[in-house]
Amino acid sequence: MEQNADTTRLIETLLLERDELYTEVSRLRNSDAGALEAARDKNREYEAKLKEQESLIKKLTDQLAWYRRKLWKPKSEKYIPKDPNQRTIDFGGLDVLPEEEVSIKEAEKEIVTYERSKPERPKRQPVRLPLPDFLRREEEVIEPEGVDENWVRIGEEVTEILEHKPGELYVRRIVRPKYALNKNKQREAEENTGEPIQTIKTATLPLMPLPRSNAGPSLLAELLLGKYMYHLPFHRQISMLKLTGMNIPASTVSNWFMGSCDLLRALYFRLKELVLASDYIQVDESTVPVIDNKKHHTVKAYLWMVRSVMKKLVFFHYDKGSRAQKVIVELLRNFQGALQTDGYEAYSIYEHKKGVLLLGCWAHARRKFNEALAEDKAGAEYALEQIGLIYKVEAMATDQQMSYEERADLRKRLAYPILCAFEKWIVNYFPKVMPKGRMGKALSYTYSLFHRLSRYHLDGRYQIDNNLAENAIRPLALGRKNYLFCGNHDAAENAAIMYSLLGCCKTNDVNPREWFTDVLTQIPKYNNDYSLDLADLLPHNWKRSKGL
């Protein structure tokens, strides 16, 4: 009995202690409820900040890698594997049908076989070419010492050295003699007609490019080429002219330039009509700094470039520097045909426009994967290998000088199976990468535009990329580094005219100095006679008319 009483007291004591502890814990919980909730909120805030900082670190790391590549690594986007002769493509894991896999392997085998059997081009050894005969020769004779009547001349050693003198200005004097009619003849003519007749005759002055100016076509052409082909601002050209002894005020040169642009403006609009009338164009845009008089500093403006691939014509369009979709919509309002662009969203409206086939650019897709090499080497290398294969198909067609029909057939037979497999690989590989990483962005970019990228195989005329358009824009980038900016919107429009005409000279292999000089001489006649077609003066027609 006594033992049972002790056990009962022990249990009661333990229960009492438990109740006291429970009461204390409850009190503490109630008293610290606000503190605990505040701690949880602060913890969530720290976690959000941590994620934000991680995202910023990732972004800055990607930017640093991009700048390092731009500044210190080779800028070529061509991907060369370590051992191209031993390259094998692993199609395991691709969701392709057995017959598709057979076509893919056959296409790959044919491409690799062609690459291995293609004869290597012999390396050209540098050879000093003779100086052309049309250059003026100034002869300098150096007689040896100690030669008298006992020596007989048996030959000579001739060494030709290429020298240079600064550009030469000369004056073109147009002399128009005046003739007066003999007084006896004058009297007889007046008696016969009964009216006074013209007694003095002078030849008509030829039409001048700028009527109230003493600048000739060749000088105007040289100034235009200096700025927009050699990228020399006018103040530098004026300094160069001073070395020849000719001091021309800057305001005079500026007036000459604006007058020349006004003279060529109608020819520029005729060029635009011909380009937009073609059925296959490439479009791109690039920046040009323009001074904003209200803000008193330069702003980023845009020039749109449109290139007719088959006609080899190009023109630049400036619409107050805007890059908005409305600009390209208005510009291509009546265009019908194939339109090749990069992935800029403004062009997406043409995906659903009747009569327009939108093409993509594989060079831009390749560039994305090239930038992702440091992040995901295995995946980026595989993607670059696939893109390299379809470029090798183009090289095969070019080496064999195939027609457009033959090139299209080759693309369907070799490139199309590779494209289909590559698209499926992108879908399967995307879940394995970080969506916001460089590899994820490259896959997303390529897949979202894959329908445009794959359409080039439909026609042998279509280019695999937009590089021809980017090459046409390159002079604009060089100009930005030299003359730095355009003074206003009018100056930017004038620049668009000059880059358009010079671009046409380049694509048609026309000497721009000869073309500008001749066109500036002839164009006043065309502007005064609307029955003449200004298209005759464009570089491709001008070259044909000169038999070049």
| Residue spans per domain, the chain | 222-337+484-545, 362-465
435 pLDDT tier (thresholds 50, 70, 90) = confident
> What's the pLDDT at 321?
81
> What's the pLDDT at 89?
40
Q: What is the mean pLDDT of the chain?
A: 82
Q: Which residue has the higher pLDDT, 313 or 5?
A: 313
Average pLDDT over residues 61-82: 61
190-241 pLDDT, tens digit each: 677 766 666 777 787 788 888 888 888 888 999 999 988 888 888 888 898 8
H helices of 285-376, in order, are 325-331, 362-371
Q: Which residue has the higher pLDDT, 131 or 439?
A: 439
> What's the pLDDT at 518?
92
Tell me which residue has tokens 């470029």.
391
For the cut 60, the answer to whether the pLDDT of residue 485 exceeds it is yes
Q: Which residue has the higher pLDDT, 376 or 539?
A: 539
> What's the pLDDT at 34?
58
What is the percent of the chain where pLDDT is above 90? 22
Query: CA 101: distance to chain centroid?
Result: 37
101-115, 127-141, 312-326: lowest mean pLDDT where? 101-115
Q: Do 68 and 55 form a contact (C-beta atoms < 8 A)?
A: no
Average pLDDT over residues 29-58: 73
Q: 278 vs 200, 337, 459, 539, CA distance in Å?
A: 54, 8, 15, 17
For the cut 90, the answer to whether the pLDDT of residue 150 exceeds it is no
235-266 pLDDT, tens digit each: 888 898 888 788 888 998 889 999 999 999 99
268 pLDDT tier (thresholds 50, 70, 90) = very high
For the cut 60, the answer to whether the pLDDT of residue 102 exceeds it is yes
61-65, 327-331, 520-524: lowest mean pLDDT where? 61-65
335-353 pLDDT, tens digit each: 999 999 988 888 988 888 8
Average pLDDT over residues 505-516: 92
Rounded to 10°, the helix 2-31/33-72 angle is: 50
47 pLDDT tier (thresholds 50, 70, 90) = confident
Distance CA 476, CA 486 (A): 12
Q: Which residue has the higher pLDDT, 165 or 423?
A: 423
For the cut 60, the answer to whether the pLDDT of residue 33 exceeds it is no
Nearest to 404 by CA among 323, 465, 459, 453: 459
542 pLDDT tier (thresholds 50, 70, 90) = very high
Q: Do 423 and 365 form a contact (C-beta atoms < 8 A)?
A: no
Query: CA 28: distance to chain centroid?
Result: 71
Label each residue of 173-196 as H, E or C. CCCCCEEECCHHHHHHHHHHHCCC
391-418 pLDDT, tens digit each: 999 988 988 888 999 999 999 988 898 8
Distance CA 306, CA 308 (A): 7
**What 3-state DSSP class applies to 157?**
coil
Nearest to 208 by CA among 524, 448, 496: 524
Distance CA 97, CA 424 (A): 11
User: pTM of the full predicted structure?
Assistant: 0.74
> What's the pLDDT at 109?
74
Q: Which residue has the higher pLDDT, 42 or 282?
A: 282
> What's the pLDDT at 281?
93
> What's the pLDDT at 32?
56
For the cut 80, the answer to whether the pLDDT of residue 183 exceeds it is no
Q: Which residue has the higher pLDDT, 363 or 206?
A: 363
